[in-house]
Structure 1
């Protein structure tokens, strides 16, 4: 039987825990934490005898102060480059179209692109745009800045790359949430140049496209969902966009498998809506693509950077 003193102590502890959790979600987790999540993906199209391909992923930067200033973007980019991926991909939403609460200043395009100059990989840095990049009206400025910085923007096209004598295709689609006049995704056009049986990797901002990607695509990489920004044990991710509830809940985060096709969805780095993250810290991702039977690991390997 709990005493009055015990009840008051429990109540104080509960309130204190709530305040600590709120402080962490609002002040600490979005601004200072960084998780490094690793996924191993095996696919039959990647030769078992070939060296695995390590892909570094950054997405949903949403460059605004004080939550994601240029110096933090540069620090995160340097951290990803230090992991020595074979290739780095950026999956859109570099800016914030809707100025969220508690934002002091949007970071200008030239500033956050300069911060991404910390990124370096043997097979280059490749990117797609997200819905916020289009809706903000900054898409053209981002294109120009990426071109100047040597970042390959893939809009409904594919390029052929080679990793230690293993050739593969990398394709990217334009965003699916903008109007057709702005360049909505065109998966058919993106894959039009793809020939032969070499492995194919697809970059997209929104993960919805996974439902219609052909079996030819071995691995899809996506962002957009932020992992809901908030995860409540035994409840789930209440902050997810409505389209990722119900039958589409499996597309919200992590490594998704459908038959022979694989997708990895990152929770990204920045914020939209309320500046809160709880148990969904900003993350960078390392995806390792390898041949069948060469790993046996399909679980996330997460650490704090």
Structure 2
């Protein structure tokens, strides 16, 4: 379906562009100048919006920061870089992945988490992930799969590619990481629409432990044992991709939680949930009032 959006976008830009050129060059010949002028202004605003959203904002990578406290009496802290939804394929390729990696590594995070959707829709899209080999952090680089990573039966190929690049892929499992004198439980699940299992990932984790659950889909907070995590980190929503100020996403995000939880830091049933807007696009190639983002989370535990 992506090519349908491409046809619509390029048809609008070309046809409206031609009309505006015609108006500019033949203005004196129009009899109903007020009507043609108003129509030209409206179409020009639409042209500028579509061009900006499709070709400028989508390449305007930003870094946002958030502070999150996971313990009542924190004694340690670390910086976690979160980047999701690369969606490498027809819209963005290896060069974009390199830009994201270079920007992220310039901030020297302590831990890097990637909550899924590495490819657009083909297994061979994963061949463009090579720049991710340059990702490194003192406490490691961890990832989980997203729903797009299962398209074209690509999940195992994506996982093998990531592991070959030195990235640890968590498949309904957990690891324990010592942060100074504090232990952090990091759990991760495969995509919820396919093989995700929060119960398996969080088995053995107690409420007394400080824990983070990495999930592509933020709906993980609705599942068994997920409430054991102090923080759930997710992507998937793209922040709605197309947004307007004070309104938010113009489309319903593909989660049970809905648009009330589209991007940012939330509290859900006394549990913290962080959702990144990601760095790639699906559907139309555009973003609006919602640039691709890398998130730096300062975690106190």
- TM-score of the pair, normalised by structure 1: 0.80
Deviations 1:118-138 (A, max 9, x none): 211101100000011012311
**Aligned equivalents of 2:140, 2:83: Cα separation in 1:** 14
Q: What is the match of residue 187 of structure 1?
A: 198
Structure with larger RCO (C-alpha < 8 A, sep 6+): 1
In 2, the alpha carbon distance for the partners of 1:233 and 1:75 equals 27
How many Å apart are 1:64 and its aligned residue? 1.4
Corresponding position: 1:39 with 2:49: no
Match of 1:303 in 2: none
- 1:210 matches 2:218: no
Other structure's SS at 1:136 match: helix
Equivalent residue number for residue 263 of structure 1: 273
Q: CA deviation at 1:259?
A: 4.7
Do the aligned residues in 2 keep the contact of 1:158 with 1:194 (CA within 8 Å)? no
Is 1:166 matched with 2:177? no
8 Å contact from structure 1 (residues 34, 281) kept in 2 = yes
Structure 1 contact 70–107 (Cα < 8 Å) conserved: no
Partner of 1:122: helix, strand, or coil? coil
Runs (4+) off by over 4 Å:
4-14
**1:233 Cα deviation after fit:** 2.9
1:69–1:107 CA contact under 8 A, matched in 2:
no
Q: Tell me how far 1:28 sits from its aligned partner.
A: 1.4
1:71 counterpart = 2:95: yes
| More helix as a share of residues | 2
Unaligned runs of 5+ in 2: 1-31
The separation in 2 between residues aligned to 1:214 and 1:117, in whole angstroms, is: 30
Instruction: Please point out which of 229, 234, 237 is paired with 1:222.
Output: 234
Partner of 2:83: 58
CA contact (8 A) 1:96 1:136 kept: no
Tell me which of 12, 25, 38 is aligned to 2:53: 25
Aligned to 1:122: 138
- Unmatched runs of 5 consecutive residues or more in structure 1: 100-105, 179-183, 292-305
SS in 2 for 1:289: strand
- For the pair shown, the structure with the greater C-alpha radius of gyration is 2
Q: CA deviation at 1:16?
A: 3.0
1:250-280 deviation per Cα after TM superposition (whole angstroms, max 9, x unaligned): 2221111135310110111111111111111
Contact map agreement 1:157 1:173 (CA 8 A) in 2: yes
CA contact 1:127–1:152 (8 Å) conserved in 2: yes
The answer to whether structure 1 residue 277 and structure 2 residue 295 are counterparts is no
Q: Which residue in 2 is equivalent to 1:141?
A: 157
Q: Cα distance 1:234–1:11, how it changes in 2: closer, same or farther (>3 A)?
A: farther
Q: TM-score, normalised by structure 2?
A: 0.81
Distance 1:9 1:60 in 2: 41
Secondary structure at the counterpart of residue 146 of structure 1: helix
Q: In 2, Cα distance between the equivalents of 1:242 and 1:177?
A: 11
| Separation (CA, whole Å) in 2 of partners of 1:166 and 1:84 | 21
Shift of 1:155: 0.6
Distance 2:127 2:40 in 1: 48
